[in-house]
Structure 1
Amino acid sequence: MKKNTYKNILIIGLFLLFQHYTKAQTVQWDSTYRPAKYVELVNKFKADPKSKKDIVFLGNSITAGTDWAKLLNLSQAKNRGISGDITFGVLERLQDVIDGKPSKVFILIGINDISRNIPDSIILRNYKMMISRIRKGSKKTQIYFNTLLPVNSAFEKFKNHYGKDEHILWLNDEIRKFAVKNVTVVDLYPNFTDQDKHLRAELTKDGLHLIPEGYQVWADFLKKTGYLN
């Protein structure tokens, strides 16, 4: 009896240790996160007059950080960026964009998903859902999908975003495949990398967000490629 008791204790101990190890190895992520100003900004976007001539820039703080109409000298350019947003947040507010039936929509989203450990496969699935929903709800809207920008860890300000370059590279490779689905791929990534494949220091203030010089590189690229025509 005593021998069996020790054996049972050992088995239970090993089981609990296994559970602890497995839990430690499981990366937790949350699809329900929304930035503090999410609802406020979504309501503001809904109240904004819409036109079928609109060119919508949809994304997170990187998109939100400039005045697109002024930058591009296009009055129909609409900023739909929300700082801190993730792909689930974009999907939640996408219907308002679809209902406006804009002429073009430029999407850049995903770096915050990466920082929050949302699996690459889930991010990619959400990208495909965005494309599918726009295609179904606004057939004449041209979809432009941006590759993710690199980051620069030398600034040491957004540590959750750093050290995850392999995720950026994998998602960008998948985004480039959208071209065969009649989606225009805006390959921003090569325009913003230095020789070490980091975000060019002269274009950022913190290794993640762009300064005016960075947005000018973006604008020049859009104009050069004819994506705004």
Structure 2
Amino acid sequence: MKALFYKLLVTVVVFTLSFTAATAQVVKWDSTYRPGKYVELVAKFKADPKSKTDFVFLGNSITAGTDWAKLLDLPQAKNRGISGDITFGVLERLQDVIDGKPTKVFILIGINDISRNIPDSVILRNYKTMITRIRKGSKKTHIYFNTLLPVNSAFEKFKNHYGKDEHILWLNDEIRKFAAKNVTVIDLYPNFTDQDKHLRAELTKDGLHLIPAGYQVWADFLKKSGYLTER
């Protein structure tokens, strides 16, 4: 009888631990989040004149943080970055980009998704949806997909973005596979990593966002790789 009791007790403990572990693995995430200035900026982008010669830079604050036309000496470069944006926000405003039928679209998005615990598989699905929609709605637009930049936790400012390097690495591996689907992959990641695979401290102000020196590394890479001149 005592043996049976202990057997039942062990079973209950194991079940409880298993249930607790399974519950702990369920991470909540929200696809509906939009930054505070999202609506205002989307309206501004819609009102901005469009041309089929445009080079559209699409993304979050990392894209928004520079004047692309000035940086690249390209008047047709259009900044479509929104600070804090996620892949769902880009998909929501993507039609305006498609309707403009730009020559090129440069996409860098996903680090905020990672910080908000959106599953990697969902982020990847959204990437593929962007590609499909652009190809369907603007067949002559050349798609350039950037790998995600590393982060640097030594700055201790954006803690939700730190400690998730495996997600960045996994998504970058998946992005690189887009090259087999006639998408030009711009592998930014190696250009911004230090010896410890962190964002180079001299290129950032907070471990996430770039300073002018960082944007210059980006610009130089685009220029020397021919991404701005190829057709």
What displacement does 1:12 show? Answer: 10
Q: Are 1:222 and 2:219 counterparts?
A: no
State the alpha-carbon separation in 2 of the partners of residues 111 and 13 from structure 1.
Answer: 39
What displacement does 1:91 show? Answer: 0.3
State the alpha-carbon separation in 2 of the partners of residues 21 and 227 from structure 1.
Answer: 47
Report the counterpart of residue 142 of structure 2 in structure 1.
Answer: 142
Report the counterpart of residue 7 of structure 2 in structure 1.
Answer: none
Amino acid at match of 1:158: F
Q: How does 1:1-229 map to 2 (within 5 A)?
A: 22-229=22-229
What displacement does 1:201 show? Answer: 0.2
Give the gaps of 5 or more residues in structure 2.
Answer: 1-10
Secondary structure of residue in 1 paired with 2:159? coil
Secondary structure of residue in 2 paired with 1:160? helix
State the alpha-carbon separation in 2 of the partners of residues 149 and 17 from structure 1.
Answer: 37
State the alpha-carbon separation in 1 of the partners of residues 66 and 31 from structure 2.
Answer: 27
- The CA deviation string for residues 143-181 of structure 1, in whole angstroms up to 9 with x for no partner, is 000000000000000000000000000000000000011
Amino acid at match of 1:157: K
Stretches of 4+ aligned residues off by more than 4 angstroms: 11-21
- The CA deviation string for residues 76-100 of structure 1, in whole angstroms up to 9 with x for no partner, is 0000000000000000000000000
State the alpha-carbon separation in 2 of the partners of residues 121 and 60 from structure 1.
Answer: 20
- The CA deviation string for residues 7-48 of structure 1, in whole angstroms up to 9 with x for no partner, is xxxx99998887665433311111011001000000000000
State the alpha-carbon separation in 2 of the partners of residues 138 and 194 from structure 1.
Answer: 38
TM-score of the superposition, structure 2-length normalised?
Answer: 0.91
* % identity of equivalent residues: 87
State the alpha-carbon separation in 2 of the partners of residues 147 and 169 from structure 1.
Answer: 9
Amino acid at match of 1:167: H
State the alpha-carbon separation in 2 of the partners of residues 166 and 75 from structure 1.
Answer: 37
Give the gaps of 5 or more residues in structure 1.
Answer: 1-10
State the alpha-carbon separation in 1 of the partners of residues 195 and 20 from structure 2.
Answer: 42
With over 3 angstroms needed to count, the CA separation of the structure-2 counterparts of 1:18 and 1:190, relative to structure 1, is: closer
State the alpha-carbon separation in 2 of the partners of residues 99 and 164 from structure 1.
Answer: 35
- The CA deviation string for residues 104-134 of structure 1, in whole angstroms up to 9 with x for no partner, is 0000000000000001000000000000000
